[in-house]
Amino acid sequence: SPTAPWWQTATGYQIYPRSFCDSNGDDIGDIPGIISKLDHLADLGIGFIWLSPVYRSPMADNGYDIADYRDIAPDFGTLEDFDTLVAEAKRRGIRIVMDLVVNHTSSAHAWFQAARASRDAPEHDYYIWRDPGADGGPPSERKSFFGGPAWTFVPEVGRYYLHLFSPAQPDLNWANPALRAEIYAMMRFWLDRGIGGFRMDVIDLIGKDIDRGFYDGGPHTFRYLAEMRAETFGGRDVVTVGESWNVTTGTALAFCGKEGALDMVFQFNHVVEGWDPVYGKWKPKPFDLVAFKRVLGAWQEALADDGWNSLFLSNHDLPRQVSKYGDDGLYRVASAKMLATVMHLMKGTPFVYQGEEIGMTNTAFSRIDQFRDVETLGNYADAIAAGTAPEDFIAGANANGRDNARTPMQWSAGEQAGFTTGTPWIEVNANHTEINVAADRADPDGIFAHYRCLIALRKTLPVVVHGSFRMVGAEDEAVFAYVRDHDGERLAVVANFSGTPRDFVLDADLAGNGECLVASHGPRDRLEAHLRLAPYESFAVLFK
């Protein structure tokens, strides 16, 4: 079988540092806290950590607003702590993938401070400025993703700057070659420290061409990425994953195919599928499994022979997967296992978001002052101004808001879930008394044990890495089933995505005796042509 690069047999694990583990009782997770938990991750079997931003930052967007690309935020530790993390992770066979946030900086970055002080500063052109519109107002109607206008006026220069996110996150002008050279030098600084690669924040936004109407999905993206690769990570044994909310199966290969600069993309077609066409994430639609399978199946097909999929349902911007796609009550454990089985055994590299490996759930806030996320607070202000009732907006935020994923990691049943000895920056989920690492790891049938098994399978079974993908029963409204084939080996995966028992009829050629690799409800070694599935039951069978 073909030899695969390390990131195709490895599983990624995302850490949101602020919420992972607080080592010094100042209410905020930090790098020494991460180091103290590396054994948990090594036991899980992951191959690399995607570390959300740890750079120096005023934390308007929890680090996605960078004030100094070459230093660590004091909240999180020091450069020395970072080097220790890389070394300690390496000792355990784990690489550290950094978050690269280069669509924008913090407004506190020295470049922006110079840029906003004078039109003559060389850094002025590192950002995107336009004169006021005819009425003296913003140059366009463009709204920020975080609420309010995407333009803010700076009297010192008499111009507006563009910020697709908050006003504290001015967009960089990638058309400026000196700016690009600065970014590439910064990337080499981290590569030289021994990191395992980059996850690239909103990478398709760097290619914007606003005078031609392109704010996102910009036409210059691929030119810049090719240049970036040549100047930085090309020829180094690292992984690169570009985040894009605009990428489609039609454009994916331009990012991560043979001709593309990157190894993978994080795409969100399966996420946005579940949003309201008008109100977006703040008004989720009922889950539609057939549509969900159609999207994920199309991605499997599009990247079957070129490019490589990333496999994920959760990250720091999304609700908890067991709450969104499973059942976070009665069937929490079974549905968490089911989701993991379906995702980890497709073709691609799976990513686990912190807490997912113990089935952490959404939180439920009742008051707006309990929320912390800049996106939620900004959109709340817009929604209230537009006449939405506060409780309606809060219901949407509880279902789909980003704070769901950002409540502290639940390590134990103790005070503050063992996350901090202080008062955490955002409330701990009250269910930590039941849902926590200590309790789940003590259970041989727990969610952690299930993840560990799936992660190990990918390392040992070529069919998991290389097998072709074929959806089975695409129109079934409750069952997600597929077959992977490789070198005479066949892997069949069957999962009941519903809380009721289901009958599922397989093609006759799929029935037979095999070896059960993983199962949520006791072993299934024989695949019957007519299957009776328990609520949220899932299993995988290998045929040789």
Residues that are catalytic: 201, 243
Considering the complex, state which of residue 392 and residue 515 has its C-beta at the smaller distance from ligand TEU.
392
Judged by CB under 5 A, the residue of 24, 118, 248, 500 near Ca ion is 24
Of all residues in the shown chain, the one whose CB is closest to Ca ion is 30
Which helix H or strand E contains 491, and what residues bound it? strand 489-496
> Is 421 near Ca ion (CB under 5 A)?
no
Tokens describing residue 429: 């989920």
Tokens describing residue 106: 């913090």
Judged by CB under 5 A, the residue of 30, 243, 476, 537 near Ca ion is 30
> Is 59 near Ca ion (CB under 5 A)?
no
Q: DSSP label at 421? A: S
> Is 123 near Ca ion (CB under 5 A)?
no
Considering the complex, state which of residue 243 and residue 476 has its C-beta at the smaller distance from ligand TEU.
243
Interface residues toward ligand TEU, by CB under 6 A = 61, 64, 101, 145, 165, 201-202, 245, 281, 316-317, 375, 402
Residue 262 interacts with which of Ca ion, ligand TEU, none, CB < 5 to 8 Å by class: none
* E strand residue ranges, 201-333: 239-243, 264-266, 310-311
By CB under 5 A, the count of residues binding Ca ion is 5
CB of 243 to ligand TEU, least distance (A): 6
Tokens describing residue 394: 């809060």
Considering the complex, state which of residue 8 and residue 19 has its C-beta at the smaller distance from ligand TEU.
19
- What's the chain's Rg over C-alpha atoms? 23
Residue 64 interacts with which of Ca ion, ligand TEU, none, CB < 5 to 8 Å by class: ligand TEU
CB of 262 to ligand TEU, least distance (A): 16
Cα 326 to Cα 332: distance, rounded to the nearest angstrom: 7
Considering the complex, state which of residue 317 and residue 357 has its C-beta at the smaller distance from ligand TEU.
317
**Phi-psi sector, 7: left (phi>0), alpha (psi -120 to 50), beta:** alpha
Residue type, 67: A
CB of 101 to ligand TEU, least distance (A): 6
Considering the complex, state which of residue 24 and residue 423 has its C-beta at the smaller distance from Ca ion.
24
Is the CB of residue 121 less than 8 Å from the CB of residue 82?
A: no
Is the CB of residue 266 less than 8 Å from the CB of residue 242?
A: yes
Is the CB of residue 64 less than 8 Å from the CB of residue 169?
A: yes
Is the CB of residue 326 less than 8 Å from the CB of residue 287?
A: no
Shortest CA distance to 33 belongs to which of 416, 313, 431?
416
> Is 440 near Ca ion (CB under 5 A)?
no
Judged by CB under 5 A, the residue of 18, 22, 126, 355 near Ca ion is 22
Residue 1 interacts with which of ligand TEU, Ca ion, none, CB < 5 to 8 Å by class: none
Q: DSSP label at 42? A: H
> Is 99 near Ca ion (CB under 5 A)?
no
Is the CB of residue 17 less than 8 Å from the CB of residue 54?
A: yes
Considering the complex, state which of residue 225 and residue 481 has its C-beta at the smaller distance from ligand TEU.
225
Residue 171 interacts with which of ligand TEU, Ca ion, none, CB < 5 to 8 Å by class: none
Residue 402 interacts with which of Ca ion, ligand TEU, none, CB < 5 to 8 Å by class: ligand TEU
> Is 403 near Ca ion (CB under 5 A)?
no
Three-state secondary structure call for residue 472: strand
CB of 248 to ligand TEU, least distance (A): 16
| Cβ neighbours for 185, distance < 8 A, ≥ 6 positions apart | none
**Phi-psi sector, 27: left (phi>0), alpha (psi -120 to 50), beta:** left
Judged by CB under 5 A, the residue of 10, 15, 21, 28 near Ca ion is 28
Stretch that binds Ca ion, among 4-12, 27-35, 79-87, 252-260 (CB under 5 A): 27-35
**Phi-psi sector, 145: left (phi>0), alpha (psi -120 to 50), beta:** alpha
Considering the complex, state which of residue 22 and residue 537 has its C-beta at the smaller distance from Ca ion.
22
Of all residues in the shown chain, the one whose CB is closest to ligand TEU is 64
CB of 51 to ligand TEU, least distance (A): 13
Bridging pattern class, strands 468-472 and 515-519: unpaired
Shortest CA distance to 301 belongs to which of 313, 311, 309, 289?
309
The contact set with Ca ion (CB under 5 A) reads 22, 24, 26, 28, 30
